[in-house]
């Protein structure tokens, strides 16, 4: 977010226009057509002018009136109207097609960009926000391109033409018609751009935000609220925020009342300004037929000017909303993608080496405490099992996440077979390493495809073999359509343990030489647990395994145990060796043995525990 | 129509009257000057027609009226302003409050079954939409329709041919919109489908990013996403392209009114049955009467949109509330009497009967999906049973006021919600009037004290919305501290909470032990080892009770319990080792 680029990127409307220019020809065509349509819409007034002129000229001698001429103008008006509608439609389509194309390109390029970002960017919280940006913020831009630009052009051109026409007809009357419009704008500027107004709007936004926050808390916390009987307190807090929001809104409404009213009344009362001047002018030259004609046309035409002017005002308000969307999108673009090497290198063997690795999370708002690694060095030997052990928050998950470059290290380096992971190229790296994590994401697809993700070239038999090895085959066969059953989104949902086994099957199919896995099967039911364990056994054969261990019993036989505390390695060794020292590992082991013996106990035993 | 109005006001249709009346008044005020101007046209025309001197006195009179009219318009507009905005903001504040109150009284199960994001959107976004619909769109809709009708009736008396020419296109264009409505709906279905599809693909893409990267799938998965975006673009263009002509012809027909007017006027004047001043007034009105109608057309879509929001709000209003007003009885004996419960048409519990004696530990055991957690949730009235009864000390819990029942129960489940408040206050949730000492005491018992004092501001450290800055195990212990402070006689527990944070397992276990002392405990057990000492173990299978007994009896039997026990013994000794 602190990406103040050197080029000083464009913001606001300028940025929006920059985005729009991607479809320049189509967009310009759309705008031109919409201008033409606006011009054509002006035609009825011209018809009226000529009709009135003809009638007025011969007012005292009606027999001389050329009715064919009058009818002709009536038909012209109709033709122009048809032209106006056709150009409007075509122009409209041009702008919309341009807009939808831009939207599409933007979504595609954003998605592509996202795939290049370090995975650390995608924690659960931000996924929702990113999704919202790709959907809504991008949608807002459609509004700008397809509606605002043509509307804006129309809203500017229309009054402009009218004013020009009016000045050509009579500059005095034209000037008078401008007075109420200028006055109205003065009122508006005064209201919206004064300092006190800005403060009020800020207060309004603040109170709205507060209300939103309270609502979220009210709903999310509802179960807790009910269980602890806090309903009244919480309800009151939310209630107060609603009342407060209402107060602020009403107050703002009140301050705007008179300027707003004046604005509207002025804009719709152009006649009240024109008539006196018209009378004054006409009284000076009562016989001037041309002047009378101009006055009549003015009186018919002038009120129409308020429509585009009002439109312009509404557009101004919406624009702020759109630029906000563009800013959010640019925030995603501003995220630095992960760097790819020019010439990816292939590792010589499959040992993993950490060399003085330092790392800190720079995301300040994600946590009050930042986990970090300091000078972490160790080697996970090829074909060996290396276990990472430590209290929660010690950094062992971070170590595992750095290997696939979910983040890049701050200092030091991680290398596989002598090649820095940053030099391997993402594709290469991912082919070398597989992962099995606690939370598994299954795609909305058949279960067969979900397993085949591990190796897209795998044939059906290979998929089934992997499923069997991961103890999935049985439950998959029991699904309504077997391997063709769709997972998620209205399809079948798998239990956590089953999903975990599918992810093991994926990894088996992938058969990458290095395996990073998170041993945590706490939530699985007994049957699943046994199956997951069986699956893991077939998975880890002949691999370099790095395991994040939670239950120490599982990793007693590991070739190397790396004990981590507060981001540093405190001990390294085999289980038996580590137990010989009075270190963290020994403490953890003892606590673990205790925990394993825990029982929820009844009365008598419990009293014993309390005395303790 | 009735339903629309009912929905859009979220069940309070009267709130529309004032804004509509004022909107009409405002429209009326705008039209009147056009009628007054007729006199000016008359005077000028007569001057040229008959050659008599220009009656400027009469014209000044008109000018005077026009200026006074500005004032009247100002007053009317100011009044309209008050009545629309005040009413709308008031209504939505009241509506939000009602909804909040309603939510409070819904069964707890409702909150588990709905995405909380959805409900908040409803309270905020949906209400804002309804607010604007009431304050702007609906009144404009009314006046946009009523004004032309009113003008039409008046103008019929002035010159019926002209009036007809002016308005004839209106019903035709309304008819077009009406007839194509089903077509519109069909079109937007395809569009909405494309949109929903793109949204799901995007969600999948973002959530599955790790897997996508890990398996080098950015190509294929991206292609699916791209295709869905492409389809969305095509559908969007299609809907615009097909709807465009319909809307254009409707708008065009409406605008044609003015042109038709000129055409008819030309013929009528040629026939001598229309004078120039009247013609001019018609033209003047022709430019203004249709302007609110155009607004209506634009608003129509927005009103429809707001209706969807309103309907969602109404749906919540229709959710059944929980009944029961009695106090909870003294005792803590819990009895399930032939309980049957189905959730979303799926049978979860079938004829479950058992009793839980006060101050004993009862464990619920069974494969996942067997109904263990449903039983604990039914005790707390997350939902009400459909058959049979659950009794507390002999009293059907459906007769007890939900809040009073809950005051007797503590729950420690896997999902913990922490309020956006300090850690201390989050513990205080258990007992509102607790002193700081009591809080510290509870925190110590729940093994929270150490990590809390290590936080930057100790007990006064704020925790984020949803409590995102604490680890799972820490949140869990805070929730136990809450429960300790609450000190309710019945404890509902999920044993898995103890292993949420394997590294701190012993701490959580100690905390749980403190919590269950001398309580009536019902626990969902995953690791059978932990409930060996329970007074009663209820083994569930597929929603039915399959065995009840103590560990020793059950393990020596030949039932499900023994099977589960054997399986767990197997996995407990497991070691990761390449063979």
Task: Domains for chain A: give ranges and CATH numbers.
Answer: 1-169+323-337 (1.20.1560.10), 352-438+512-606 (3.40.50.300)
User: In the block, which residue shows the tokens 């026409």?
Assistant: A165
Cα(B322)–Cα(B520) distance, integer angstroms:
25
Q: Homologous superfamily of B324-408+488-579 in CATH?
A: P-loop containing nucleotide triphosphate hydrolases (3.40.50.300)
DSSP A118: -
- Name which of A223, A225, A258 to mutate to probe chain B: the one with the most chain B Cβ atoms within 10 A of its Cβ: A223
With CB atoms and an 8 Å threshold, state whether A598 touches B259: no
- In this complex, the residue of A41, A104, A497 whose CB is nearest that of residue B233 is A104
Q: What is the pLDDT of residues B155-184, one digit of tens each?
A: 888 889 888 888 887 788 778 877 777 777
With CB atoms and an 8 Å threshold, state whether A216 touches B465: yes
Where in chain B is CATH 3.40.50.300?
Answer: 324-408+488-579
Mean pLDDT of chain A: 82
pLDDT of residue B497: 67
Q: What average pLDDT does range B360-378 have in this prediction?
A: 87
Cα(A54)–Cα(A58) distance, integer angstroms:
7
Cα(B89)–Cα(B26) distance, integer angstroms:
20
Look up residue B340 and give its two tokens. 């049957």
B60 inside 8 A of chain A by CB: yes
**Whether residue A232 has pLDDT greater than 70:** no
Cα(A611)–Cα(A14) distance, integer angstroms:
73
CB atoms within 10 A of CB A314: 11
Phi, then psi, of B440 in degrees rounded to 5: -60, -40
**Whether residue A609 has pLDDT greater than 50:** no
pLDDT of residue B489: 93
Report the residue of chain A nearest B530, measured CA to CA.
A599
pLDDT above 90 coverage of chain B, percent: 17
Contact list, A300 vs chain B (CB under 8 Å): 280, 283-284, 287
CB-CB contact of B259 with A78 (8 Å): yes
Q: What is the pLDDT of residues A405-447, one digit of tens each?
A: 888 888 899 999 989 999 998 888 888 988 887 777 788 888 9
B96 inside 8 A of chain A by CB: yes
Portion 109-148 of B in contact with A at CB < 8 A? 111-112, 116-117, 119-120, 123-124
Q: What average pLDDT does range B404-419 have in this prediction?
A: 83
Look up residue B571 and give its two tokens. 């996995």
Phi, then psi, of B342 in degrees rounded to 5: -120, 140
How close B93 gets to chain A, by Cα (Å)? 6
| Cβ burial, residue B135 (10 Å; 0-12/13-18/19+) | buried
**Whether residue A366 has pLDDT greater than 50:** no
Contact list, A223 vs chain B (CB under 8 Å): 108, 111-112, 417
With CB atoms and an 8 Å threshold, state whether A249 touches B89: yes
**Whether residue B55 has pLDDT greater than 80:** yes
CB atoms within 10 A of CB A469: 19
pLDDT of residue A513: 92
CB atoms within 10 A of CB B427: 29
Terminal alpha carbon distance of chain A:
53
DSSP B391: E
pLDDT above 70 coverage of chain B, percent: 92
With CB atoms and an 8 Å threshold, state whether B74 touches A506: no
Contact list, A383 vs chain B (CB under 8 Å): 578
Q: How confident is the model at residue A368 (pLDDT cuts 50, 70, 90)?
A: very low
- For CA atoms B433, B438, B440, B443, give the dihedral sign: negative
Portion 295-354 of B in contact with A at CB < 8 A? none
Look up residue A258 and give its two tokens. 């008179």
pLDDT of residue A233: 67
With CB atoms and an 8 Å threshold, state whether B266 touches A497: no
Contact list, B50 vs chain A (CB under 8 Å): 60
User: In the block, which residue shows the tokens 């037929």?
Assistant: A289
With CB atoms and an 8 Å threshold, state whether B252 touches A85: yes
Q: What is the pLDDT of residues A523-548, one digit of tens each?
A: 556 677 777 788 888 888 888 999 98
- In this complex, the residue of A107, A239, A427 whose CB is nearest that of residue B100 is A239
Contact list, A550 vs chain B (CB under 8 Å): 502-503
B516 inside 8 A of chain A by CB: yes
pLDDT of residue B549: 93
CB-CB contact of A138 with A329 (8 Å): yes
Cα(B151)–Cα(B282) distance, integer angstroms:
10
Q: What is the pLDDT of residues A55-80, one digit of tens each?
A: 888 877 777 878 888 888 888 888 88
**Whether residue A118 has pLDDT greater than 60:** yes
Q: What is the pLDDT of residues B470-503, one digit of tens each?
A: 777 788 888 889 999 999 999 998 876 666 666 6
Q: What is the pLDDT of residues B64-93, one digit of tens each?
A: 999 999 999 899 888 888 888 887 788 778
- In this complex, the residue of B30, B37, B120 whose CB is nearest that of residue A216 is B120
Cα(A201)–Cα(A291) distance, integer angstroms:
48
Q: What is the pLDDT of residues A299-357, one digit of tens each?
A: 888 877 777 777 776 666 667 667 777 888 888 888 888 888 888 888 889 999 999 99
Alpha carbon dihedral B549, B553, B559, B562, in 10-degree steps, equals 110
Q: What average pLDDT does range B118-143 have in this prediction?
A: 76
- In this complex, the residue of A146, A227, A520 whose CB is nearest that of residue B406 is A227
Q: How confident is the model at residue B382 (pLDDT cuts 50, 70, 90)?
A: confident
With CB atoms and an 8 Å threshold, state whether B66 touches A275: yes
Contact list, B411 vs chain A (CB under 8 Å): 227
Q: What value of ipTM does the predicted structure carry? A: 0.75
Q: Which of B149, B541, B156 is nearest to B367 (CA)?
A: B541
**Whether residue A3 has pLDDT greater than 50:** no
- Name which of B262, B513, B519 to mutate to probe chain A: the one with the most chain A Cβ atoms within 10 A of its Cβ: B262
CB-CB contact of A223 with B417 (8 Å): yes
pLDDT of residue A490: 56
**Whether residue A607 has pLDDT greater than 50:** no
Q: What is the pLDDT of residues B5-47, one digit of tens each?
A: 676 666 677 777 877 888 788 778 877 888 888 888 888 888 8
Q: What is the pLDDT of residues A32-57, one digit of tens each?
A: 998 888 888 778 888 888 888 888 88
Q: What is the pLDDT of residues B88-104, one digit of tens each?
A: 788 778 888 888 888 87
pLDDT of residue A601: 64
* Cα B42 to the center of its chain, rounded Å: 59
- In this complex, the residue of B90, B237, B245 whose CB is nearest that of residue A97 is B237
**Whether residue A563 has pLDDT greater than 90:** yes
pLDDT above 90 coverage of chain A, percent: 13
How is the beta sheet containing B520-524 ordered, strand by strand?
B409-412, B490-494, B520-524, B361-365, B536-541, B544-549
Mean pLDDT of chain B: 82
Cα(B268)–Cα(B287) distance, integer angstroms:
20
With CB atoms and an 8 Å threshold, state whether A217 touches B288: no
- Name which of B252, B571, B572, B579 to mutate to probe chain A: the one with the most chain A Cβ atoms within 10 A of its Cβ: B571
CB-CB contact of A440 with A499 (8 Å): yes
Q: What is the pLDDT of residues B246-302, one digit of tens each?
A: 777 777 777 677 788 888 888 888 788 888 888 888 888 877 777 777 667 666 767
Report the residue of chain B nearest A224, measured CA to CA.
B417
How close A14 gets to chain B, by Cα (Å)? 25
- Name which of B22, B42, B88, B213 to mutate to probe chain A: the one with the most chain A Cβ atoms within 10 A of its Cβ: B213
pLDDT of residue B338: 94
Look up residue B88 and give its two tokens. 């709308």
CB-CB contact of A346 with A421 (8 Å): no
**Whether residue A492 has pLDDT greater than 90:** no
Cα(A571)–Cα(A582) distance, integer angstroms:
11
With CB atoms and an 8 Å threshold, state whether B213 touches A443: no
Report the residue of chain B nearest A512, measured CA to CA.
B215
């Amino acid at each position: 977010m602190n990406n103040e680029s050197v080029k000083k990127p464009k913001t606001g409307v300028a940025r929006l226009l920059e985005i729009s220019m991607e479809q320049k020809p189509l967009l310009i065509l759309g705008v031109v057509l919409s201008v033409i349509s606006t011009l054509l819409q002006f035609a009825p007034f011209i018809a009226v002018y000529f009709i009135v002129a003809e009638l007025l000229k011969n007012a005292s001698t009606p027999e001389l009136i050329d009715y064919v001429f009058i009818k002709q103008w009536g038909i012209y008006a109709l033709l122009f109207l048809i032209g106006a509608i056709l150009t409007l439609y075509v122009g409209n389509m041009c702008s919309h097609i341009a807009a939808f194309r831009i939207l599409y390109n933007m979504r595609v390029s954003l998605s592509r960009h996202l795939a290049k970002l370090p995975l650390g960017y995608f924690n659960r919280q931000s996924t929702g926000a990113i999704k919202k940006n790709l959907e809504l913020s991008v949608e807002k831009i459609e509004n700008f391109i397809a509606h605002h630009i043509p509307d804006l052009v129309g809203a500017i051109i229309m009054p402009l033409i009218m004013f020009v026409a009016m000045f050509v007809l009579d500059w005095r009357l034209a000037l008078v018609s401008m007075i109420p419009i200028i006055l109205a704008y003065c009122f508006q500027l005064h209201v919206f751009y004064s300092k006190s107004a800005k403060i009020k709007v800020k207060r309004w936004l603040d109170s709205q935000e507060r209300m939103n926050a309270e609502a979220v808390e009210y709903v999310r916390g509802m179960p807790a609220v009910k269980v602890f009987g806090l309903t009244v307190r919480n309800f009151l807090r939310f209630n107060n925020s609603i009342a407060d929001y209402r107060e602020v809104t009403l107050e703002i409404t009140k301050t705007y009342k008179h300027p707003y009213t004046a604005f509207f009344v002025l804009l719709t009362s152009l006649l009240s300004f024109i008539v006196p001047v018209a009378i004054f002018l006409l009284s000076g030259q009562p016989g001037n037929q041309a002047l009378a004609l101009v006055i009549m046309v003015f009186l018919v035409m002038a009120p129409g000017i308020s429509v585009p002017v009002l439109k312009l005002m509404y557009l101004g308000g919406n624009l702020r909303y759109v630029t906000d969307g563009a800013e959010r999108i640019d925030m995603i673009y501003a995220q630095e993608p992960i760097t790819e090497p020019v010439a990816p290198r292939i590792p010589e063997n499959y040992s993993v080496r950490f060399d003085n690795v330092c790392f800190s999370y720079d995301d300040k708002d994600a946590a009050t405490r930042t986990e970090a690694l300091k000078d972490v060095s160790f080697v996970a030997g090829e074909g060996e099992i290396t276990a990472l052990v430590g209290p929660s928050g010690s950094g062992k998950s971070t170590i595992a996440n750095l290997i696939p470059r979910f983040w890049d290290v701050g200092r030091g380096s991680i290398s596989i077979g002598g090649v820095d992971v940053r030099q391997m190229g993402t594709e290469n790296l991912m082919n070398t390493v597989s992962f099995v994590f606690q939370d598994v994401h299954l795609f909305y697809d058949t279960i067969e495809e979900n397993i085949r993700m591990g190796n897209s070239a795998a044939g059906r038999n290979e998929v089934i073999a992997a499923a069997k090895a991961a103890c999935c085959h049985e439950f998959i066969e029991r699904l309504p359509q077997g391997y063709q059953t769709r997972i998620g989104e209205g399809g079948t949902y798998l239990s956590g343990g089953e999903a975990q086994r599918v992810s093991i099957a994926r990894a088996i199919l992938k058969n990458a030489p290095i395996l990073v896995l998170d041993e945590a099967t706490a939530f699985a039911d007994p049957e699943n647990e046994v199956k997951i364990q069986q699956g893991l056994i077939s998975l880890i054969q002949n691999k370099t395994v790095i395991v994040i261990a939670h239950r120490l019993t599982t990793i007693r036989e590991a070739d190397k145990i790396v004990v981590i505390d507060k981001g540093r390695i405190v001990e390294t060794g085999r289980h038996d060796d580590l137990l010989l020292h009075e270190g963290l590992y020994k403490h953890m082991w003892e606590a673990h043995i205790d925990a394993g013996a825990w029982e929820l106990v009844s009365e008598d035993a419990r009293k014993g525990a309390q005395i303790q | 129509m009735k339903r629309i109005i009912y929905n859009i006001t979220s069940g309070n249709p009267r709130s529309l009257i004032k804004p509509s009346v004022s909107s009409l008044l405002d429209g009326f005020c705008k039209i009147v000057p056009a009628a007054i101007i007729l006199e000016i046209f008359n005077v000028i025309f007569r001057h040229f027609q008959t050659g008599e001197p220009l009656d400027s006195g009469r014209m000044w009179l008109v000018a005077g009226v026009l200026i006074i009219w500005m004032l009247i318009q100002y007053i009317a507009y100011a009044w309209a302003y008050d009545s629309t905005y005040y009413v709308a903001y008031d209504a939505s504040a009241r509506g939000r409050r009602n909804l909040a109150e309603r939510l409070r009284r819904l069964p707890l199960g409702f909150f588990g079954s709905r995405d909380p994001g959805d409900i908040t959107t409803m309270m905020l976004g949906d209400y804002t939409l309804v607010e604007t619909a009431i304050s702007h769109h609906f009144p404009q809709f009314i006046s946009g329709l009523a004004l032309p009708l009113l003008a039409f009736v008046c103008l019929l008396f002035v010159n019926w041919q002209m009036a007809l020419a002016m308005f004839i296109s209106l019903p035709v264009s309304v008819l077009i919109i009406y007839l194509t409505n089903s077509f519109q709906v069909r079109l937007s279905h395809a569009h909405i489908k494309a949109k929903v599809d793109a949204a799901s693909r995007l969600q999948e893409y973002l959530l599955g990013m790790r897997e996508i990267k890990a398996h080098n799938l950015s190509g294929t998965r991206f292609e699916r996403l791209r295709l869905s975006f492409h389809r969305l673009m095509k559908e969007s263009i299609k809907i615009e392209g097909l709807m465009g002509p319909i809307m254009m012809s409707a708008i065009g027909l409406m605008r044609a009114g003015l042109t038709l007017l000129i055409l008819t006027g030309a013929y009528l004047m040629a026939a001598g049955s229309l004078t120039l001043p009247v013609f001019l007034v018609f033209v003047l009105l022709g430019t203004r009467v249709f302007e609110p109608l155009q607004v209506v057309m634009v608003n129509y879509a927005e009103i429809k949109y707001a209706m969807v929001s309103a309907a969602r709000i109404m749906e919540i209003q229709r959710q059944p509330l929980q009944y029961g007003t009695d106090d909870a009885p003294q005792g803590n004996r819990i009895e399930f009497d032939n309980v049957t419960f189905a959730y979303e048409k799926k049978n979860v519990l079938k004829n479950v009967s058992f009793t839980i004696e006060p101050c004993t530990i009862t464990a619920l055991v069974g494969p996942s999906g067997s109904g263990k957690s449903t039983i604990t949730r039914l005790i707390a009235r997350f939902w009400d049973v459909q058959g049979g009864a659950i009794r507390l000390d002999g009293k059907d819990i459906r007769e007890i006021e939900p809040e009073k029942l809950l005051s007797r129960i503590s729950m420690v489940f896997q999902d913990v919600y922490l309020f956006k408040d300090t850690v201390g206050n989050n513990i205080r949730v258990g007992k509102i009037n607790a002193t700081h000492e009591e809080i510290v005491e509870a925190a110590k018992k729940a093994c929270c004290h150490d990590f809390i004092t290590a936080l930057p501001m100790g007990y006064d450290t704020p925790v984020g919305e949803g409590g995102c800055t604490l680890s799972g195990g820490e949140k869990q212990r805070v929730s136990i501290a809450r429960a300790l402070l609450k000190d309710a006689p019945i404890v509902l527990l999920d044993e898995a909470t103890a292993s949420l944070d394997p590294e701190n397992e012993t701490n959580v276990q100690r905390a749980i032990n403190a919590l269950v002392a001398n309580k009536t405990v019902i626990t969902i057990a995953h690791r059978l080892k932990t409930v060996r000492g329970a007074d009663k173990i209820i083994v569930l299978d597929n929603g039915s009770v399959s065995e009840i007994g103590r560990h020793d009896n059950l393990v020596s039997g030949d039932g499900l319990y023994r099977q589960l026990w054997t399986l767990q013994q197997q996995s407990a000794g497991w070691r990761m080792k390449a063979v």
